Structure formats: structure tokens, C-alpha cells
Amino acid sequence: MSLRPRSLRFRLAGLSALAVLASLAALAVLATLVVERELRDSVDAELERRAVSVAQLAATTPSLLSAPGTLDVGSGGRSVWVEVRDARGRIVARSASLGGKILPADGILDAALRDARTSFADGALGDEPLRLYAAPLAETGRRASGGAVLVATSVRDIDATFARLRELIALAGLAAAALGALLAALLTAHGLRPLRRLAAGARTISERPDPGRRLPTGATGDELEELAVSLNRMLDALDRARAAERRLLADASHELRTPVTALRGNAAFARRHGADAGLLAELEADADRLARLVDDLLALEREAGARTPDEEVALADVVDAAAEGATVTERAPLAVRGQAGALERALRNLVDNARVHGRGEVRVAVSREGDRAVLSVSDDGPGIPPDAAEAALRRFWRGPDAAAQRRPGSGLGLAIVAATAERHGGEVRIDGATVALVLPIVRELSRPVHTVVAP
């Protein structure tokens, strides 16, 4: 298992180690402070008890203060040094174990003598760390009356204990951090195994493209399986898009071949025999057909890649602009969110289709169905069979009798209408000779509903 500095496993292992170290450091600081406070409080309590006993001795039998060994008695198993000072700070009695050394307690001694106040302090006797306590003596008129008692003990053992404790905590923290990093690396390697399989599968697909190849999903039921399923759906969508693109190119090349072939034939005829009015009309018709086909292809592509419209459009205005020559039977005052130009083109395509494939009158209506507006176009023709309604919205679909009857058109009109409806959040509804564009309503306008008879 390799841990490269920039790999995800390396970063997770490092973060785990840092988290363990930070947690142990915080715990160590808290535990050390608590234990140290408890030990120092116990030492302070011992010093205070020793000072009380010496003060009682000075008040009752001061002559014993100078007796050999009286002030050398330990307290609670600890060695305690004692100095008894008079009111002027002179040493009256002291522990023999001090020898020629004097306890360093100027600050707390002054507080005891001048302010009759007890206090603790830290100090040192040579290289020996000390904890000191000073307490005032009562005014008894006897020896050391009004003075102070000063007691001290070594805290070297406490300092040594905490030094060893800190070392042990540091070693334990490093060991725990190393163990945490190792476990994190192992767990991450195990957890990322499906992700590595996904990466290998994606690399294989990118190096050797195969429309039917998909990523391994496994059966873990976790987020990685969900990711694999989502990526496979994306690959399915890309395959469908590529297939649709290939169909578009094939259909477009097939549809373009006819007007291009006609143009070339008419041009060759004109070069050999000269051009008359009929030939020029055919050339113009072929050029118009080719231009309409290219224009429809561009419109369809623009609809597929355009953004969702956000303008408010009144459908009555769309009817006024694009329903020329049709009978408007109903004009509900409804507004939708859309793009006026795209909606006008869609309605114009529906009207043109009805005019080409229907019989007689073409009718346009704007009505309301719940929260949706219905912009419908009807004719008196046979209409689109129910089993062909879905196919009619595909590109280049022209119906079984369109070619036989030499009807104009490229089969892109309804495909453009469907793309426009989808971009506007609506749908196309086909019911025989009635094709409707169904769109969500933004609001109802204040204009009254009125019916327009045939133009």
C-alpha cells in the first residue's frame, strides 16, 4: 500500500494522526492540570497543618522550639523544614536539617509579619525546588510572640513525576497517532477500493471507447454504488445523444441530397441548353427548399442548446403575430413564461403543417386547463394517427403519404415545436387533426376573452 504525499489516503491518514494528537494533547493538558492541582493542594494542606502545630507549640511551650529534633519531625511522610521568626524577622528556632541554609521567603514572610496574613509561595533552596507557607504567630508575650512560622518542603518528587508523566503522554500520543494513521490508511484503502475500480473502468472506457461498456457498480448499497449508477446513466444519456446526433447527420445528409442533386442537375441543364423562366423557377424553388431545411436545422439546434426563458409573454400577442390566415376561435387572456420569438415560430409551424396536411379551414385557440394554457391548432384533415403521435415529434418524420403526395416540408416542424415546448416547461399534445402546445400559466391578464371569426 503506497501513501503518496498528494494521495487521498495520505491526506486522510495525516488528518487522522493530527486529530488523535490534538485530542490526546488536550486530554493530557487537562489531566495534568487536575492531577498537579490535587498533589499541590495536598502538599499545601500538609504545610498548613505543620505550621498550625508549630504555632500551637510556640504559644503553649515555646521552650520546646529550641529542643533538638522538635522542628525536624516530618509531616505525612514528607520532609518539612521549619523556621520560627520573631516580630523583627529574626530566627528564633529552625530545623537542624537546614544546616546553614535559610529559607527564601521574603515576600510571604513580610505578609505574615506586617499584615498578619497567611500565604503560599514557590521558591528554591539551591537547586532544590520548594513549596513554602508562612503564617503569623499570636501575641502571647512569650518567645517569638507576634512573629511568624515559615514551613517549606521539597517538590522535586512532584516535578519529576510530572516530567515522567509528560514523557509517557507524549510517547503514548505518538504511538496512538501512528496507530490511528495506520488504521485510517488501511480503512481508507479498503473503502476506496470500489472507487479505484470506478477509476479503472473509466480509464478503460476513455482509452477504448465502447458504446456498450459501463462502469462496475457492485452490490454495496452505499454512496459509491449510487455514484456508479449515476455515471452509467450519464453514459447512457451520452450514448443516446451520440445516436441522435448520428441519426441527425444521416437524416440531414439524406434530406439535403435531394435539393442539392436537383440544383446540380438544373445547373448542368442550364449550362448545356441555357436557362428559361421555368428552369429559373425550379432553381429558385430548390434553393428555397435548401434554405428552409438549413434554417430549420439551425432553429432545432438553437432550441436544444438555448437557456430556459424568463420573459412574460401574452399568448394573444403570439397568436396575432403568427396565426395569419387562420381562424382564431378563442383567445383566453393568459401569460406564460417564455420567449416570444420561439413561441411564434412554433405556432407558425403548427399553422403551416395544418395548412399543408389538412383540408379547408385552420383554427387556432388559446384556452385554459387548470394551471396550464393550451395553444391549439386544428384542421379538417385526417390528422395524425394515434400510433404515430410519438414518432411525429421526431426529426424528419413526414408521415407515410407525404412523399407519395409530394407534400412540401422537411419533417422538422413538429420536432422544433416539441423542442420549444420542452424548453418552456410544457409539452406537445396530438389528438388527431388537433396539435396543441401546453404551457404553464404565469398569470391571467385583464383583457377580456373574445372570439374572432374567420379572417
Reduced DSSP (H G I as helix, E B as strand, rest coil) percent helix, strand, coil of the chain, to 5: 55, 20, 25
Q: What is the helix (H) or strand (E) element at residue 11, kind and residue range? A: helix 8-60
Structure confidence by residue, pLDDT tens digits, 329-347: 999 999 999 889 889 999 9
pTM for the full model? 0.47
Is the residue at 59 inside a domain?
yes
Q: What is the dihedral of CA 174, 180, 181, 186, to 10 degrees?
A: 150
Is the residue at 2 inside a domain?
no
Which residue from 72, 71, 76 is spatially nearest to 45, judged by alpha carbons? Answer: 76
Sign of CA dihedral 142, 146, 150, 151: positive
**pLDDT attached to residue 368:** 93
Is the residue at 64 inside a domain?
yes
Is the residue at 3 inside a domain?
no
Residues 291 and 313 in one domain: no
Q: What is the dihedral of CA 303, 308, 314, 317, to 10 degrees?
A: -20
Q: Which residues pair with 428 in a beta bridge?
A: 437
Total count of domains within the chain: 3
**Ranges of the chain with pLDDT below 50:** 1-2, 403-405, 448-455
CATH assignment of the domain containing 424:
3.30.565.10
CATH assignment of the domain containing 147:
3.30.450
Residues 92 and 125 in one domain: yes
Contact by Cβ (8 Å): 80, 153: yes
Is the residue at 191 inside a domain?
no
Q: Which residues pair with 375 in a beta bridge?
A: 366, 437
Q: Which of 274, 298, 322 is the C-terminal boundary of a domain?
A: 298
Residues 326 and 283 in one domain: no
Residues 320 and 428 in one domain: yes
**pLDDT attached to residue 451:** 42
Residues 70 and 135 in one domain: yes
Q: Which of 128, 143, 163 is the C-terminal boundary of a domain?
A: 163
Q: What does the DSSP 8-state code read for residue 432?
A: B
**pLDDT attached to residue 247:** 63
Q: Which of 163, 192, 210 is the C-terminal boundary of a domain?
A: 163
Look at strands 334-338 and 311-314 and give their pairing. Answer: antiparallel
Domain residues for the domain of 404 are 309-444
Contact by Cβ (8 Å): 107, 120: no
The DSSP-derived string for 211-280 is TT------S--SHHHHHHHHHHHHHHHHHHHHHHHHHHHHHHHHHHHHHHHHHHHHHHHHHHH---HHHH
Q: What is the dihedral of CA 331, 336, 342, 343, to 10 degrees?
A: -20
**pLDDT attached to residue 449:** 44
Is the residue at 434 inside a domain?
yes
The DSSP-derived string for 350-413 is HHHHHHHHS-S--EEEEEEETTEEEEEEE-SS--B-GGGTTGGGSTT---TTTTTTT----S-H
Residues 118 and 67 in one domain: yes
